[in-house]
Amino acid sequence: MAGEDLIEVKFRLADGSDIGPNQYSPTTTVGSLKEKLVAQWPKDKENSPKNINDLKLINGGKILENNKTLAESRLPIGELPGGSITMHVVLRPPMLDKNKEKLQEELLKKNRCSCSIL
């Protein structure tokens, strides 16, 4: 594939740091981009994604679907020829496991005040 057919993309994290830019084929799916992001995620970050479902990619205010290709997801207006596309990355906050969640709910129920005003 010729070099000019590749699309240059960088990923902006919530703290303002970037991953990339790297060049990808227009047939690359959003899901495979997310897989590469999980593998390249900086180790010094407090939170990190465990799998692709922990990430959302946003381009031009639009959340991209995993099964769409990069060519289908890019915006035809506003891109400069030969320029880099910046996609924003949203990381899902870590989920509590079910046992801890139930424990917290039980503690909240036990610690409730049950005053009656007559």
CATH number at residue 27: 3.10.20.90
Q: What mean pLDDT is predicted for residues 76-81? A: 56
Higher-pLDDT residue of 56, 109:
56
Residue 12 maps to a domain: yes
pTM: 0.69
Tokens (6 digits) for 45: 């970050």
Domain that holds residue 32: 3-110
CA dist 35 and 12 (Å) reads 16
Q: Is the Cβ–Cβ distance between 19 and 10 less than 8 Å?
A: yes
Is 64 strand, coil or helix? coil
Q: Does residue 103 surpass a pLDDT of 60?
A: yes
Look at the chain and report how many structural domains it folds into.
1
